[in-house]
Amino acid sequence: MTINESLQWAIGMLEQEGVENARGNAEHLLDHCLGMERTARFFLRYERALSAAEENEYRRLVTQRADRVPLQYLLGKAPFLNEDLVVDEGVLIPRPETEQVVEVAIRLLRQEGGVGDLVMFDIGTGSGAIAVSLAKELPAKVWASDVSADALKVAQANIRRLRVEGQVTLIHGDLFCPFHVLNLEGQVDLVISNPPYIPHGILGGLAPEVSQYEPWMALDGGEDGCDFYREIIPEAISFLKPDMGWLILELGDGLAIQVKDIIESQRKFAPPQIFPDLNGKARVIAAKRGQ
Ligand code: SAM
Ligand code: GLN
């Protein structure tokens, strides 16, 4: 088959299976099979025949995409801020909403203008998206935890990819547990997390790309979506620098008021600030520790 015929076949197949943006997906996978940057498609001769190996690989990937395997898992990478990060089925695919969380953190910490290296905890680091991006942008030492050993392998690959080995340390374990041995109580400038926050009951009803292929461990926030906020918020206090340290969390849809209440009920934080995402939804909450 020619490139053009293959592309038309792929678009038809993806449309039939209800994949959003069938053309874009078909083109991305074609670029991947041809080992080509997206911008190089301009020079492609659409009448050229694919080799047998190229055609087999393209058919395999398009069929998987038609089965709703997320595009990013098939490509093995996902864009995040200005980088491409490595991803596989062991990690949540980093989302544009999370870019917003990182941007808020950078802005608030730059305003503080502290001296020396900042100390940060990223709870549930997954692909390492938040940790590596912060390390790239700020003079920071980041400690990042996850309960998933598979996720930490991917995070390690991203640490190497962005060359932040000297700044980010991964620790395997539950929430703050692995941090207790570090003796950093009262010394942390930022506790940041995009915790699992999808209410358990609605997980199965999400798009098949999410519900069938992304790790539930990365998504399931318990009955009301707030299980992790209830654990992270009180535990963060003892680690944060008095009068300086920030707690910054990504918010699940419709959870802003509940999470704000959990923060306020601790009586240890200045009034929280809430920031919207690009769709206008309350997506980030930031609260500075008081005395
Ligand atoms: N930080 C990444 C991001 O923003 O793309 C991943 C966020 S994902 C929503 C939540 C992460 O928390 C997953 O990687 C999951 O494995 C991890 N996780 C779930 N339960 C955890 C726990 N008890 N302790 C530490 N990490 C946990
Ligand atoms: N943003 C993800 C989604 O909507 C959920 C990530 C999370 O639970 N933190 O599918």
Domain's final residue, options 13, 43, 67: 67
Atom of ligand 1 nearest to the CA of 122: 1
> For the whole model, what pTM was predicted?
0.96
Same-domain status, 160 and 56:
no
Protein residues whose CB sits closer than 6 Å to any atom of ligand 1: 92, 94, 98, 123-127, 129-130, 145-148, 151, 174-175, 194-196, 217-218
In a domain, 249, yes or no: yes
Same-domain status, 138 and 103:
yes
Which residue has tokens 């939804």? 281
Same-domain status, 133 and 235:
yes
In a domain, 72, yes or no: no
In a domain, 184, yes or no: yes
Return d(Cα 257, Cα 255) in angstroms, integer: 6
Q: Whose CA is nearest to atom 9 of ligand 2?
A: 196
Atom of ligand 1 nearest to the CA of 148: 16
- Domain with residue 258: its CATH number is 3.40.50.150
How far, in Å, from the CA of 288 to the mean position of ligand 1?
22
Protein residues whose CB sits closer than 6 Å to any atom of ligand 2: 92, 95, 97, 194-198, 210, 219, 250
C-beta of residue 6 within 8 angstroms of C-beta of residue 58: yes
Domain's final residue, options 45, 67, 89: 67
Q: Residue 211 CA: which ligand is closest? A: 2
Which residue has tokens 């206090």? 237
Atom of ligand 2 nearest to the CA of 218: 8
pLDDT at 64: 98
Same-domain status, 60 and 84:
no
Q: Residue 250 CA: which ligand is closest? A: 2
The residue to mutate among 146, 159, 232, 253, having the most atoms of ligand 1 within 8 angstroms of its beta carbon, is 146
- Domain with residue 34: its CATH number is 1.10.8
pLDDT at 219: 98
Same-domain status, 122 and 233:
yes
Half-sphere exposure of 250 (CA within 13 A, CB side): 26
Q: Whose CA is nearest to atom 27 of ligand 1?
A: 124
Same-domain status, 22 and 102:
no
Same-domain status, 21 and 47:
yes
Phi, psi for residue 96 in degrees, rounded to 5: -60, -35
Q: How many CB atoms lie within 10 A of CB 263?
A: 22
Same-domain status, 96 and 215:
yes
Same-domain status, 52 and 87:
no
In a domain, 74, yes or no: no
Report the phi/psi class of residue 94: left, alpha or beta, with left for phi > 0 and alpha for psi in -120 to 50: beta
Domain's final residue, options 18, 37, 67: 67
pLDDT at 42: 65
pLDDT at 112: 76
pLDDT at 215: 97
Beta strands in 128-245 (DSSP E): 140-146, 168-172, 190-193
Same-domain status, 96 and 147:
yes
Same-domain status, 205 and 180:
yes
In a domain, 261, yes or no: yes
In a domain, 51, yes or no: yes
- The parent domain of residue 256 ranges over 80-288
Q: How many CB atoms lie within 10 A of CB 136?
A: 18
Q: How many CB atoms lie within 10 A of CB 135?
A: 25
Q: How many CB atoms lie within 10 A of CB 280?
A: 7
Number of domains in the chain: 2
In a domain, 283, yes or no: yes
**Residue ranges of the chain with pLDDT lower than 70?**
38-43, 113-115
In a domain, 180, yes or no: yes
Return d(Cα 151, Cα 108) in angstroms, integer: 28
Atom of ligand 2 nearest to the CA of 194: 9
Condensed to tens digits (0 to 9), the pLDDT of residues 202-261 reads 999 999 999 999 999 999 999 999 999 999 999 999 999 999 999 999 999 999 999 999
Same-domain status, 62 and 85:
no
